[in-house]
Amino acid sequence: MVAPAGVNPAEINLIRRIVLGRKGQKSPLIDIAQVIALGAGMIWLTLQGAQSMGYNWQWYRVPKYFWRVVDGELIWGEFVHGVLVTLEIAAWAVLISIGVGLVTALFKMSNSLAGRVLAVTYLEVIRNTPLLVQIYLMYFVISPIIGIDRLWTGIIALALYEGSFAAEIIRAGIQSVERGQWEASASIGLTQRDTYRYVVLPQAIPIMLPPLTGLFVNLIKHSSIVSVIAIFDLTTEGRNIIADTFLSFEIWFTVAAIYLSMTITLSSVVNYMEYRIRKRSW
């Protein structure tokens, strides 16, 4: 077959392969259609199930919780407020957790016995207790003692939890810098601080960036747990709307979709960053 002018024959082959499949194989489009059919089937089952329990779908009542226009004035709804609070919590928590993680990683690699004991104790305590129990402990025990408000209790609890992951990411990033780099810095007479500042961190930080962004994704997910201490994040807003309207399915599906769109978008950014780094290093 002669390709029309301006069209790459390889491209035509690729398109043909996607539509018709390789020789003797079925087309990937059939598989994709199967997945869509399965998804549609599951949605149908859900709707059927909901109908059999007499559930009355009222999707038209949902949009007003995003925004509504009253007298020509735009009023942001509960979902938007919830998303903003969730992002606020995640943003503060990621900053603090990077700080905590950095200190922990440096303590753990230091020559100081007390520093190492403190770092490892912190890591073991955080890793071996559930986040929910940490939140309760923070809310009921620590926050009255040090006197912080509810929002900051949630932020600090999340930051301490994610800080244990940040510590691992930072330690792995620093240790991924080759030994020769340290030796070279020592041989030109740099102090330990200058070695970190001019040699190690500039190489380690690009490696840390994708997993640290992944940490932010995790924080958005885990921040939903602060709804147990009544911080008005997306999950709490969702629960409140359900308490008001009994639209449990509609609201939970909407809340889930909002979380999924935030986390999947950010996850694909992480994938792209990893891809860029891999491409550059080879």
Partner 1 sequence: MSYAEIFQPRRQDGKIQVHWLDFVVIAAVAAAVWYVYIQVNTVLHYNWDWNTIPVYIFRWDVEEGRWVQNLIVQGFFITIRLSIWSIVAAAILGTIFGLFRVSPSLFLRLLGRAYVEFVRNMPPLVFIFIFYFFLSDQIMPLIGADDFVHHASPTAISIVEVLFGQANLFANFLSGLMCLALFEGAYVTEIVRAGIQSVPRGQWEAGTSIGLNRFQLLRYVVMPQAIQKIVPPLCNQFIQTIKDSSIVSLISIQELTFLSVEVAVSTTRVFEVWITAAVIYFVICWGLARLFAKLEVRMAASRG
Query: Candidates 90-98, 152-160, 186-194, 261-269 — which segment interacts with partner 1 by CB under 8 A?
Result: 261-269
User: Site map for partner 1, 42-71, x if CB under 8 A?
Assistant: ----x--x---x------------------
The residue within the footprint of partner 1, chosen from 140, 246, 272, 275 (CB under 8 A), is 140
Compute the distance between CA of residue 41 and CA of residue 28 in angstroms, rounded to an integer: 20
Q: How far is the CB of 43 from partner 1 (least distance, A)?
A: 13
Q: Which amino acid is at 229?
A: I
Residue number, 9 or 39, with CB nearest to partner 1: 39
Question: Which residues, 197 to 226, sit near partner 1 by CB under 8 A?
Answer: 217, 220-225
Compute the distance between CA of residue 187 and CA of residue 189 in angstroms, rounded to an integer: 5
The residue within the footprint of partner 1, chosen from 18, 22, 34, 75 (CB under 8 A), is 34
Compute the distance between CA of residue 216 and CA of residue 83 in angstroms, rounded to an integer: 14
Strand 73-76 relative to strand 67-70, pairing: antiparallel
Q: How far is the CB of 228 from partner 1 (least distance, A)?
A: 7
Q: Could you give the 3-state DSSP secondary structure of residue 249?
A: helix
Q: Could you give the 3-state DSSP secondary structure of residue 74?
A: strand
CA dihedral 173, 177, 182, 183 (to 10 degrees): 150
Q: Could you give the 3-state DSSP secondary structure of residue 19?
A: helix
Q: How far is the CB of 71 from partner 1 (least distance, A)?
A: 34
Question: Residue 144 to residues 31, 138, 256: CA-CA distances in angstroms?
Answer: 56, 9, 33
Rule CB under 8 A: is residue 108 a binding residue for partner 1? Answer: yes
Q: How far is the CB of 34 from partner 1 (least distance, A)?
A: 5
The residue within the footprint of partner 1, chosen from 66, 136, 152, 182 (CB under 8 A), is 136
Q: How many angstroms separate the first and last alpha carbons of the chain?
A: 38
The residue within the footprint of partner 1, chosen from 13, 112, 176, 191 (CB under 8 A), is 112
Residue number, 75 or 243, with CB nearest to partner 1: 243
User: 177, 114 in Cβ contact below 8 A?
Assistant: no
User: Which residue in 211, 119, 199 sits closest to 173, CA to CA?
Assistant: 211
Q: What is the contact surface with partner 1 in residues (CB under 8 A)?
A: 28, 30-32, 34-35, 38-39, 46, 49, 53, 107-108, 110-118, 120, 124-125, 127-134, 136-137, 140-141, 144-147, 217, 220-225, 227-228, 235, 238, 248-249, 252-253, 255-256, 259-260, 263-264, 267
